[in-house]
Amino acid sequence: MNVLLNTNIQEIIKNAEDYCASEGIKLQLVYDMSDELISTISDRSAALPSLYFVNEKLIKRRLKNGCFILVKGDEICGHIFAHEHHVKGHSVFERSSLWVNREYRNYNLGLLLMSKMTKLYADSFLISIAQTPKVHHYNELLEMTHVKLANMSALFVDELEKLGKLRDELNYKYFVNEKFKKEIKQLKEVKNIFLKQ
């Protein structure tokens, strides 16, 4: 990870894209996929302790928001979804279900997927709730801002709890994108839902 700290994010992404090209891996944005693939992704989430279980119905719902997949031949070797939450009249998108096949995990393909999803939702409120320190580091590289629960309004914390997204901050961190960060002040004044005064 120390190597990444001193490297330009654009260079890292370019290297990941070059790796995909050399390996015949295609990056695609999809809004639909076969029931068989949906079942595979759901089963994988049940089998891996690092992923929260996602049933097939929820995956189909998330697909409507877009899913970036890495495809080699007929195999999906990576994916990331966006899940839409409705918080006091606002849509907040959460990057979710990031997964890369173990064979391809040393080439920053997770960062590539995160980058694409972050760009797709640059004009929307985007949040990342993650446990893995590597994902926290990637969020920082993508210029997302770490926000502590203590700085959020009680209303938003209540909403996170209702959504099942309230986590132990010793292990989980909350990151927001630039739009979220820029408009927090306005949202505080209008609804006071995201951060305390």
Lowest mean pLDDT among 2-6, 74-78, 158-162: 2-6
* For range 114-127, the mean pLDDT: 95
Residue 133 lies in a domain: yes
The DSSP H or E segment spanning 119 is helix 109-120
Which residue range is the domain that position 19 belongs to? 2-190
* For range 112-127, the mean pLDDT: 95
Do 15 and 104 touch, CB atoms closer than 8 A?
A: no
Residue 68 lies in a domain: yes
Do 26 and 78 touch, CB atoms closer than 8 A?
A: no
Residue 72 lies in a domain: yes
Per residue in 40-95, pLDDT (tens digit) is 888 877 777 656 667 889 899 999 999 999 999 989 999 999 999 887 778 889 99
Total number of domains constituting the chain: 1
Residue 105 lies in a domain: yes
Residue 197 lies in a domain: no
pTM: 0.84
Residue 127 lies in a domain: yes
Residue 87 lies in a domain: yes
Per residue in 161-182, pLDDT (tens digit) is 877 777 777 778 889 898 887 7
CATH of the domain at 143: 3.40.630.30
Residue 196 lies in a domain: no
